[in-house]
Structure 1
Amino acid sequence: MEFIDVSAKTIEDAIAKGVAQLAAEGQELVETKVLEQPSNGFLGIGRKPAVVRLFFTSVAKTATQEEVAHVEEQSVAVASQPVATTETEVEDTAVEASVEEKPSKKELSKEDQQEIAEKGKQFLDDMFTQMGLTVVIEKMMTKDKITFQVHGEDLGILIGKHGQTLDAIQYLTNLVAHKDVSGHCHIVVDVENYRSRREETLVNLAKRLASKVKRNRQKVSLEPMNAFERKIIHTALQGDKNVVTNSEGDEPFRHVVIMYKK
């Protein structure tokens, strides 16, 4: 894999800078590695920036809107336009998006949640503007979660291979939004409902491969996935009495294996 080294004042700023650069060049983020931690030095002397290495792969094919709808992540060409934002307040009883969520460590006030949401939205606004993307950001809030749904044309570049770029953007948004803010409210960043479509795709894949395993009595290994996607596979098949699933290998090549249960 190819890589670029990026430096900035903080690790999150360095990753954000690198993600924006790769996106602008039509590259897919694969993995990030921290090379140097930032240091303030003594009285400003000897201050060192954070340095991160971003591994990427080149993408030759251009994504169409139809491909994005089918969870195909490819490079796209974009035009430079301002970012638009819409906001929606939803009740706590609303259906939760199909994304991994960590419980809040303590009760979060509405004011703190609003501050987190504003900082997260501002970070996304700035990033997408620098990337030259024309998008509309829809904000949805429940008691324990803030969701930013990004809408626009040809946004496959924000998703990356199996959502890796999208996961990196979400990770950075959470870091920036919670900096110097008490309490925690998980932020989800999604693009054109990619996460729910991806979950549906994985569930269908799991059931199809389980049927194959039961027919052939031979195990099947899936491609490497992140922890959340592996959990979707395990959950989809946990009620099947004829198959068992295990995760094997080391990150970032850890994958699910579906085996026949005798």
Structure 2
Amino acid sequence: MDFSEKWGTSIDEAVRLALEDLKLTRDEVNVTVLEEPSRGFFGIGQKLAKVRVEKITVVKAPEPEEIKEKTAAKPASAERSAERTAPSGEKKTERPQRDRSERPERRDDRRPERGERSDRRERGRRDKDRERPQRSESKLALRVRPDDLQEMTEHPALTFLNEVSEKMGLVLEVKCYVNEENVFIDIEGKDSGTIIGKRGQTLDAIQYLTSLVVNKDSEKYIRVVIDAENYRAKRERTLEQLANRLADKVKRSGKSVRLEPMNPYERKVIHATLQGRPEVTTRSEGEEPYRRVIIERK
């Protein structure tokens, strides 16, 4: 790998992760800052830093070209050797012997590559199986709501969200629906776009904080889902369309595609969408919150 793009809470952190990925030191790379970090409001709406780290050293020629040059050079050297050691009349009989002797060596050169590809596929299948949702888990889990939900006018989630929106100066209408195992929050209003944030990052952050508040004194875990202007369903449809479009691209080009970092649920949407595509496979790499999906051709 000649470069690495990483996200981090700061530029230094992102550079450190990229250097670990490339196994290089700071003196051996060039660093380009793609996105500046931002702290946000009490951690809400926080933006991560993104950097691109590239090697300074000269990039080697692609491996197929090296193999081509070697195979082209071997017959020439062998031919010169044959001309020095054999009469001119024996040159034609030497050529078939040279071709046969070279073939096993070229096959040996390719075996490690096939083995490495097989190892990568096996690791990819293990990563995919760990993250792919089970059949019992609907890929529309965030959209499907239980039938026994009841609207609540007083609830810890409502209190927390109203306080947060007031401190942020947002005008929002918050409704809460509850049963024994779930809390669903619907947010509407002219400032809904602010509460959603870029690609739903602010909404995810608020959902996480609200879940901590709700489960603080609860004996069993209660699932909290916060939606604003039906954003979750729209985002899921967007991810499904993106997954299929990129799978078609991978199928045509044969080159793998790396998606941007996503939260666990969005990664599951990608995996579930492409689960029925026999020509491609998916896996995840990286550590949270920078874990991302890789789409590869089988």
- 1:30 matched residue in structure 2: 47
The one-letter amino acid paired with 2:197 is: G
- 2:175 matched residue in structure 1: 138
Larger relative contact order (CA 8 Å, sep ≥ 6): 1
- 1:99 matched residue in structure 2: 142
- 1:198 matched residue in structure 2: 235
Q: 1:18 aligns with which of 13, 32, 42?
A: 42
* 8 Å Cα contact 2:38/2:47 also seen in 1: no
Cα distance, 1:161 vs. partner?
A: 2.5
* 8 Å Cα contact 2:211/2:224 also seen in 1: yes
User: 1:182 aligns to what SS in structure 2?
Assistant: coil
- 1:175 matched residue in structure 2: 212
Tell me if 1:155 matches 2:204: no
- 1:217 matched residue in structure 2: 254
The one-letter amino acid paired with 2:42 is: G
Tell me if 1:233 matches 2:270: yes
Cα distance, 1:143 vs. partner?
A: 4.7
Cα distance, 1:98 vs. partner?
A: 4.2
Separation (CA, whole Å) in 1 of partners of 2:141 and 2:191: 22
* 8 Å Cα contact 2:183/2:223 also seen in 1: yes
Question: Based on CA coordinates, which of the two structures has the bigger radius of gyration?
Answer: 2
Calculate the TM-score normalised by the size of structure 2. Answer: 0.51
* 8 Å Cα contact 1:221/1:258 also seen in 2: yes
Higher relative strand content:
1
Aligned residue pairs, count: 172
Cα distance, 1:162 vs. partner?
A: 2.3
Distance 1:205 1:2, change over 3 A: closer
Separation (CA, whole Å) in 1 of partners of 2:140 and 2:163: 25
* 8 Å Cα contact 1:155/1:191 also seen in 2: yes
* 8 Å Cα contact 1:19/1:165 also seen in 2: no
The one-letter amino acid paired with 1:148 is: I
User: 1:150 aligns to what SS in structure 2?
Assistant: strand
User: 2:238 aligns to what SS in structure 1?
Assistant: helix
Cα distance, 1:253 vs. partner?
A: 2.6
Tell me if 1:189 matches 2:245: no
Cα distance, 1:247 vs. partner?
A: 0.9
Tell me if 1:208 matches 2:217: no
The one-letter amino acid paired with 1:207 is: N
Question: What is the CA deviation profile of residues 165-204 of structure 1, one whole-angstrom value per residue up to 9, with x for unaligned ones?
Answer: 1111111111112222333321111111111111110000
Cα distance, 1:134 vs. partner?
A: 1.3
- 2:287 matched residue in structure 1: 250
Distance 1:156 1:19, change over 3 A: farther
The one-letter amino acid paired with 2:190 is: E
Structure 1's unaligned 5+ residue stretches are: 5-14, 21-27, 32-54, 57-94, 102-109
* 8 Å Cα contact 1:221/1:255 also seen in 2: yes
Cα distance, 1:142 vs. partner?
A: 4.3
* 8 Å Cα contact 1:137/1:151 also seen in 2: yes
The one-letter amino acid paired with 1:18 is: F
Structure 2's unaligned 5+ residue stretches are: 1-35, 51-137
% of aligned pairs identical? Answer: 41
